[in-house]
Amino acid sequence: MTAPKQMYYEKRAQILVQNLRSRHFDACYCATAQEALEQALAWVPEGASVSWGGAMSAQQIGLMDALHSGPYHPLDRATCKTPEEMKQLYREALSCDVYITGANALSLDGQMVNIDGTGNRVAGICYGPETVLVIAGMNKVCDTLEEAICRARTVAAPMNKLRLGDGTPCAVSGSCGDCKSEQCICNQIVITRHCRPVGRIKFILVGEDLGL
């Protein structure tokens, strides 16, 4: 990454960390994926039950591999063999010790926007797991909440549908069609603007481009 981009991310992260903490989130900035991995593991107690949803950024920093190989109890939907097993795992994930997720977008004033098709990911963010750990590249940060919502719908959602290979209008055109498709990924749009209890949701902002 070029020095100007690194400096840009660092300066914006200083603002964002301060604003997240003012909203009672815990937050820190890590310049590299390796630093982010070390910080994430410091926030996951040994023996903890851990699950995740829509966490490409966490995968990219190596967190899932570390959880599978370490002293933790991962609840991984990739191990499910039937739809019934996956439904049961989604329910168990809502009572896990640590829930890991990414962010579709963040506003510089400290609000997070997530868009979901099934709802299991945003459900875990809102309620249930003891701790929620958000891994977010600084490429997800927008100046305003309105821009963050726009990013979630017009950037993150179409790219995720292209990744999944579903034939929604946005996967065909690359642009949000405000659809009502059966395969729509924009069924829930959740803005997380404040943390209660204090510190339950923890952010690791990473000075790299991660996720979609």
pTM of the predicted model as reported, rounded to 2 decimal places: 0.96
Based on the number of CB atoms within 10 Å of its own CB, is 186 exposed (0-12), middle (13-18) or buried (19 or more)? Answer: buried
Rounded Cα distance, 204 and 92, in Å = 24
Rounded Cα distance, 75 and 94, in Å = 11
Rounded Cα distance, 179 and 129, in Å = 31
pLDDT > 70: percent of the chain:
100
Q: What is the pLDDT of residues 106-118, one digit of tens each?
A: 999 999 999 999 9
137-141: average pLDDT: 98
Backbone angles phi, psi at 167, to 5 degrees: -90, 45
102-109: average pLDDT: 98
